[in-house]
Amino acid sequence: MRYPKLFAPGRIGNLELPNRIIKAPTSTGMSNIDGSVSERLIRHYREVAKGGTGLIIAEYAYVDDIASKSAHCQLGISSDEHISGLTLLAETIKEQGARAGIQIEHCGRQKFLGTPPIKAASAVPWLALKARSGDKAIPEQLSIDEIAQIVEAFGDAARRAVAAGFDLVEIHGAHGYLITNFLSPHTNKRTDRYGGSFENRTRLLVEIIESARSKIGHAFPLTLRLSGTDYEPDGFGIDETIEVARIAESLGIDAIHVSGGDHHQMIHQVSPMSVPRLHNVWAAEAVRKAVGIPVIASGSITLPDFAEEILADGKGDFISLGRPLWADPQWSNKAREGRQEDIRPCIRCNDGCLDRTFFRFRAVGCSVNPEIGREGDLQVTPARQAKKVAVVGGGVAGMEAARVAALRGHRVTLFEKRSLGGVLQEGSVAEFKSDLRFLNDYLATQMDKLGVDVVRRRAEAADIVGRFDAAVIAIGGQASAPPIPGIDGPRVMDAIDVFNGGATPGRRVLVLGGGETAVEVALYLQQAGREVTILHRRDELMARDCTITDKISYGEMLARAGIEIITGLQATEISGGRVTAADRNGRTRQFEADSVVTALGYGPNRDGLAAALREGGGMAVYEVGDCVRTAKVYDAMHAGYRAGCRL
């Protein structure tokens, strides 16, 4: 076996686990509005539990009906009336061979819903929520009586989990939720017995553990999730986390699940691809050296090679996976079977699972897995009649359409004049975008394994008409070229050409644009030793369609790099190495540079092929991806998937 450590049996308390892989408790937004278990949630967890993961910790469940609920359609465990549905959830997970756990939580100041009441240790708001909801996002400081009620609510929630048949309960003491609000000096400004000293700040957690143990006994597996640090300058560091872990062990906690960050420092909690992989494993290693109970490591452990290395190096006893099991619920089975190349990789884009979920009040989605959240509704099924299908374009949308079509039994030919990957090739050149390489490798591998015939040239209508029954056009987008005098000059080059090596900028570079591509090419060139300035006509960089974690991460990277950013100026003329720009009032400024790199947006590529095929008649023609509307990996992957299902 390639991963002997990963697939060795393990134990948490008296709970035997078949392997060392644990599904992290990630919220789906698929429960009913009252927190009860929905049929959709059952279908989802049935598929996840089929994947071979040893322990499934179902998503965080709120413990009371006062102020603990964080998100829309969140799972609840606040009432005995929840037990019936939770029993079905636990049974469904266990019927597939996995162990079933559940996490219990109080959101504290981090209430995505933004609705009152919001209760926390002190009146310190989550700044992103305050920017959206105003003063109503400022939490009310909990009274002593309210704290006592919450302690009881946690104990009652643990009791309900046992009654529902779960094998394990986890207390959520991480990620900036209520327990962390008390642990961290950043959010705890109290002067009573719950604030100030380390002993006082840990008092709530101690009382919650004691309450849970009093109601479920000392034999039932009880774990605690902690942030190694909240990454706040005035916050909670690893030394205090280690002491908390030791206290928890003494109180009967059976394992420590180590993560990091809070919602203000979200890039450390849900790290984007610009943050190194295995981001919080260092903290798990530090805690493991200090306690005698198992430690669960987490944080961007996207592939089994990474997981095996962590276990082999003694940095953790178990591996926790959140987003990777949304990207591919069969992650564990494929790793055990030695099919790691078939694992659909999480690219840590945080688009479907975070931005389109929590910030848009939708159920969970995934950029690379269109089926997640649509289990039993959206799935690949055999075609009623096998067809000869032409796919034109080997980017994300084209390869996904080809993959699904081939799985359904169609004979697929894919035309691509370049190497497979489309703009994934340019998009993954920078090291801070390297997760995209895993997706490209996965899709290209599937083309080979599924017998897709890849033709390495441009497709013409004559290559397709009369030879195929259907065609999918996925030829991508093209750079926008606004009518700026001099934009076609010899010192001007497009960002895509910079990434693919088709253009080499000089020492001083002026980047025109302020979207993600502009920021990424600026950072890439600065890391390559160039002096870079960004010139953007809007007042804010990355203002449109950029995930919250990319905004945070890229903002920090730009600040560290010392890249000059000039906003509110529109380039009006390029002459040699001189760019003239004007503000809204017509006042002009001039900038000197050796090279000008444009990243001014991209539009659909309408080369006429789809129209020509339709005119030829006799075949269904589908256009997908950037050739229809330039968007993100999420949109391209989902469009390709649906096209493959329609054929």
CA 557-178-235 angle, 5° bins: 45
Residues near 406 by beta carbon (within 8 Å), at least 6 away in sequence: 412, 450, 451, 452
- Are the beta carbons of 100 and 87 closer than 8 angstroms? no
Q: Write out the catalytic residue numbers.
A: 177
Query: How many angstroms separate the Cα of 538 from the Cα of each of 319, 521, 574, 636?
Result: 43, 18, 19, 27
Name beta bridge partners: 105: 62
Residue 83, H or E segment:
helix 83-95
Coil, strand or helix: which one is 151?
helix
Map 290-351 to HEC letters.
CCCCCEEECCCCCCHHHHHHHHHCCCCCEEEECHHHHHCCCHHHHHHCCCHHHCCCCCCCCH
Please report, for residues 2, 169, 171, 259, the alpha-carbon distance to residue 221 in angstroms, rounded to integers and kept in the order given: 30, 7, 11, 19
Show the 3-state SS of 469-495: CEEEECCCEEECCCCCCCCCCCCEEEH
Contact 605, 480 (CB under 8 A): no
Give the Cα separation of 633 and 235 in Å (integer).
35
What contacts 94, CB < 8 A, 6 or more positions away? 49, 100, 165, 167
Cα 71 from Cα 547, distance rounded (Å): 18
Cross-strand partners of 64? none
Which residue from 421, 447, 424, 449 is spatially nearest to 435, judged by alpha carbons? Answer: 424
CB 27 within 8 A of CB 59: yes
Rounded distance, CA 205 to CA 70, Å?
19
Locate all alpha helices (DSSP H) within 408-538, ordered by sequence.
424-427, 435-449, 461-464, 495-499, 516-527
